Structures are given as C-alpha cells and as structure tokens.
Amino acid sequence: MRQEWLEYLQLVSWNNPIALALASSAVGSVVTLAWISARNVKERKSQRRDTALELALSLESYARTCRTIMHKAAWAATEAADSKGPEAVKTVSVAAFGYPDKLQWNVLSRKVVSELREYPATVHAAREYVEAFREFGEPIELCGLVEYECAKAAMAALVLARVTRRRHGAASWKPGAKDSAMERELSKFIASAEENRTTSRRMESAVARRVDAQAFKQA
C-alpha cells in the first residue's frame, strides 16, 4: 500500500491544477485555524481582564463600606459611653459580602477562583464571631471588635483586589483623594489594635495570677 502511494505521488505533478487546488486548500485551512485560535485566545484574555476588573471593583467597594462601618462603630462607642446604654450599637456589625451575579468564573483558573471564593467565607466567619460576642460582650467592647474585624476585612479585600488586577492585566486601582491613604490607615489601625489586645491580655493574665496567689496565701 505504501509503495502504491509513493508511485502515485511520483506521477502527480505540482503543476497539475488539482494538486495546486489541494495544496492551496490545505494552506488556507491552516491559516484559518490559526486565525480562529488567535482570536479565541484574545477574546478569552479580554474576558479574564473584564471579569478581574469586576471582581476588583467589588472588593474595593466593600473595603470602603468596611471603613464607613468603622467610623460608625467608633461613633456608637462614644454614644454608648455617654448614654450608658447599648442602643447605639444595635445596628453596628460587619457588613455581608458577595460578588456580583453572572460573573464569568470559567475564564479564570481554578486556583484563582479558589482564592477569590474563600474571601466571602472569611467575611461570613467574622460576622458570626461578632454576633456571638454581641450576646455577652459589653457595648463598647463590641464596637471595638467591629472596628477591628472591619479593618481586617477591608485590608484583605484591598490586597486581593490588587493581586487580581495585576494577575489578569486589569488597570491599576486609582483611588480618589478620599481613599488614597485608606490602605495605610487600615494597616496602622490593625497594628495598633493588635498591640492593645496583646497588652490587655497580658494585664488580664497578670491580674489573674495575682488573684490566684492571694487566694493561695489565704488558704
């Protein structure tokens, strides 16, 4: 069979119109397939960039919401201290978060989707923690906890948004004058809050040891 094909090819002349037509058709098919493949790659890249931009915008908007709630919690703490009551803190809590509907998740890699999907779960866990604390915590302490959890959620949202933009070639975030220092302010607040929480725990531990020591002496 192989010998017959070789003999046939030897008989065929490239000057033959049929041979020229077949060769031209083959070249045209290759060019067409290459063009379609290049167009699909370009369209998919554009879809990834658009999806990344929507995700980043959603995260940055949530970060601004968290900062607003932080200010509200600080005001509520002052009101609670002045009025000696919990009324001012009833509506203070970590805001819920969800991505926009109808996003083209399929254009992103599984690793990227996993990282992005984990963030709403983290926010949900923070909300549940705050609501559990609300049942037995003091109003002023609750406000401080809301500020702290909102700051962490906002900082994580900004970092994730920046990574998402850079990873998929979306335009960099250009915050206005109001938001230009937001990430720096959040970072300073978190560091200060964590330092205060560490100091408070050390003081509580020292007091507990002193009380235990006095009880032992009395015994």
Amino acid symbol at 214? Q
Task: Collapse the DSSP code of 186 into the 3-class scheme (helix H, G, I; strand E, B; otherwise coil) and give the result.
Answer: helix
Residue 90 included in any domain = yes
- Beta-carbon contacts of 126 under 8 Å, excluding residues fewer than 6 positions away, are 94, 149, 152, 153
Give the range of the structural domain holding residue 107, as residue numbers without chain letter.
68-207
Residue 204 pLDDT level (bands cut at 50, 70, 90)? very low
Residue 22 included in any domain = no
DSSP for 51-87? HHHHHHHHHHHHHHHHHHHHHHHHHHHHHHHHHTSSG
> What's the CA dihedral at 191, 193, 197, 198 to 10 degrees?
20
pLDDT at residue 207, as a whole number: 39
Residue 77 included in any domain = yes
Q: How far apart are the first and last CA of the chain?
A: 106
Tokens 């009833």 map to which residue?
90
Amino acid symbol at 61? S
Per-residue tokens: 91? 């509506």
pLDDT in tens, 144-186: 999 999 999 999 999 999 999 988 888 777 776 676 788 889 9
Residue 211 pLDDT level (bands cut at 50, 70, 90)? very low
Q: How many CB atoms lie within 10 A of CB 65?
A: 18
Residue 189 included in any domain = yes
pLDDT at residue 3, as a whole number: 57
Residue 59 included in any domain = no
Residue 216 included in any domain = no
* Number of domains present in the structure of the chain: 1
Residue 73 included in any domain = yes
Instruction: Write b or e for each residue in 149-178: b if 16 or more Cβ atoms lie within 10 A of its Cβ, otherwise e.
Output: bbbbbbbbbbebbbbbbeebebeebeeeee
pLDDT at residue 102, as a whole number: 85
CA geometry: angle at 210 spanning 206 and 216, to 5°? 145
pLDDT in tens, 107-154: 888 888 889 999 999 999 999 999 999 888 888 889 999 999 999 999
Residue 110 included in any domain = yes
pLDDT in tens, 64-92: 999 999 999 999 888 876 665 567 778 88
Higher pLDDT, 103 or 83: 103
Residue 174 near residue 162, CB atoms below 8 Å: no
